[in-house]
Structure 1
Amino acid sequence: MANQLKVIIDQPFSGLIWKLETDTENDLIYIETRNEKEHSAGFSSLNLKTGKLNFSELVSEEKWLVGLSGGRKGILFLHGYLSDQTPEHKAIIALNGETGKQLWTNYNLSLETFTQQGLLAADQRFQSKRLVLLDEKTGNVKTGIDLNDLADDVQPIQIPQMLLLPPQNLAALIAGTITGGISCFNYNPYLIISLHTQKNEGYLQQLFVVENEAIIYQDLLNEQIQKLQPEAFVVIKNYLVYIKNKSTLKVLNLEQ
């Protein structure tokens, strides 16, 4: 089968991929991996445009009770957890998104949300929530801005829609009995599809890229899994981003 699409990232990790976030303005993609055996969380940065691995599975001083919040302006933001018994966050840790070098930390605040004006954070030293606006690069409090007028900063990630049946004329191209819903995304001239087929006592999860009713790219995402997996891919700008075997990040350039 001729592969007409260029794979620009094919990056395996030692831990399971737990979370994926992007800083699309700076073409950065961030990965949180978790290694149960080592009881550690790792954080990685890749350049979406060039495929460069900036750093891989960086482990912070707190090895386990730490997670990925997101990225903006070339900076990766991490958070801690109040305890291993609660999902509630504490602290903000800011790292350079290309080097992994720590830029600043604040252990009294927790990140509420990203806004176009800065980081909206809550001061945890007060029983009633007290909000402040922070500069992303320094962590300093911004003043003179009405917190009621902040604009959300949402990353432009496109997710597939779910179909009950495969698009017409495509079912014959796919071997096996299709089970469950079908993730589908139209990126002209391509139709991107992910679905499950039955195999023995389990399922296969597969990804297909179709052009003019012909499969031009396909990959096996998971083999012999026991339950249907959630949506398998996203589209960021002109890149198809997906996870293979729960531990490998793959990115294809959809524009040649």
Structure 2
Amino acid sequence: MFKGIIWRVETDDHNTIVAIESRDVSNRTTYFSAFDYVSGEAFFKEITVQEGWFWSLDRVHSGMIYVHSYVNEGSPEHKGIIALNSSGEIAWQHFHKTLHEISDSGLIVYNPKIQPKIFELISAETGEVLSTKISRDTPLQRDIVIPEILEDSRQFSHLLPGNTYGPVFYLEINRKIILAFHTQKENFYTQQLAVYQDGTPLMQDILAADIQKLNPEAFFIQHNHLFYIRGNKQEFVSYLV
């Protein structure tokens, strides 16, 4: 259980690390956490950085967690990079560079004050500049699978409750079918998730109960692990599929 609402989740393509950004609106505090999503071990939980409300989770790569700020409070454009190691300590920081993409060679960054953008390559581990004025490097390929959204779910009517309402999130992996859906009772909805194999439920969970509108997201898969948020967006679950 997190103090605030889970705002963003990012996974590491090279390690079994998941990083979570949670926000407590009541005291305008942003927290960052990192876990091993196989063992459940917490590397660090709910740490903050200076002026943390204005920082947000960006990416996770090779055991490093990167967070970004913004050009100004009202702008969505990113500015600044703080690199946290797996202990939650600041490894390095650049306040005048923006993370554009991650490649096998390092981080591709630019200075948002300079137009047109000039891309540089910096070390993911130290933040040291490796090359200036590079062309865009090949982005790191990510092993993330998101569900298909089915407007017509009649083919799964034998697996779904009779009061299922709205679109169904569907994904099939390793001979398992994963479905996330809403059920309706009066003017409220409950979002549920279920994993089936050969028609038999292996796991069922409630993601959100007594909500007034449909949730637009349900789950994603990486490295054969199912990730989802539940408990009023304050709990995070990893499930091996």
* Structure 2 CA distance for partners of 1:173 and 1:33, relative to 1, 3 Å: same
Match of 1:118 among 90, 106, 115: 106
Correspondence for 1:4: none
Correspondence for 1:6: none
In structure 2, how many angstroms separate the alpha carbons of the residues matched to 1:32 and 1:176?
A: 36
Alpha-carbon contact 2:190-2:208 (below 8 Å) kept? yes
Correspondence for 1:5: none
Structure 1 unaligned blocks of 5 or more: 1-11
* Structure 2 CA distance for partners of 1:196 and 1:234, relative to 1, 3 Å: same
Match of 1:201 among 171, 187, 193: 187
Correspondence for 2:7: 18
Match of 2:83 among 80, 85, 94: 94
Correspondence for 1:33: 22
SS at match of 2:161: coil
Correspondence for 1:161: 148
In structure 1, how many angstroms separate the alpha carbons of the residues matched to 2:95 and 2:159?
A: 54
* C-alpha deviation, 1:141, in angstroms: 0.8
Correspondence for 1:186: 172
SS at match of 1:143: strand
In structure 2, how many angstroms separate the alpha carbons of the residues matched to 1:37 and 1:123?
A: 33
Aligned length: 240
Correspondence for 1:172: 158
* C-alpha deviation, 1:224, in angstroms: 1.3
In structure 2, how many angstroms separate the alpha carbons of the residues matched to 1:183 and 1:42?
A: 29
| Pair 1:129 & 2:117 matched | yes
Alpha-carbon contact 1:240-1:252 (below 8 Å) kept? yes
- RCO (CA 8 Å, sep 6+): is it higher in 1 or 2? 1
SS at match of 1:87: coil
Correspondence for 1:105: 93
In structure 2, how many angstroms separate the alpha carbons of the residues matched to 1:61 and 1:205?
A: 36
Correspondence for 1:211: 197
Quick one: percent identity of the two aligned structures? 32
SS at match of 2:14: helix
In structure 2, how many angstroms separate the alpha carbons of the residues matched to 1:224 and 1:149?
A: 47
| Pair 1:52 & 2:41 matched | yes
* C-alpha deviation, 1:163, in angstroms: 1.3
In structure 2, how many angstroms separate the alpha carbons of the residues matched to 1:55 and 1:183?
A: 32
Q: TM-score under structure 2 normalisation? A: 0.94
Correspondence for 1:74: 63
SS at match of 1:24: coil
* C-alpha deviation, 1:127, in angstroms: 4.4
SS at match of 1:172: coil
- Over the residues paired in the alignment, what is the CA RMSD in angstroms? 1.6
Q: TM-score under structure 1 normalisation? A: 0.88
Alpha-carbon contact 1:176-1:198 (below 8 Å) kept? no
Code of the aligned partner of 2:206: L
Alpha-carbon contact 2:64-2:83 (below 8 Å) kept? yes
Structure 2 unaligned blocks of 5 or more: none
Correspondence for 1:150: 137
Alpha-carbon contact 1:191-1:210 (below 8 Å) kept? yes
* Structure 2 CA distance for partners of 1:55 and 1:167, relative to 1, 3 Å: farther
In structure 2, how many angstroms separate the alpha carbons of the residues matched to 1:151 and 1:63?
A: 31
SS at match of 2:158: helix
SS at match of 1:136: coil
Code of the aligned partner of 1:164: E
- Runs ≥4 residues deviating over 4 A: none
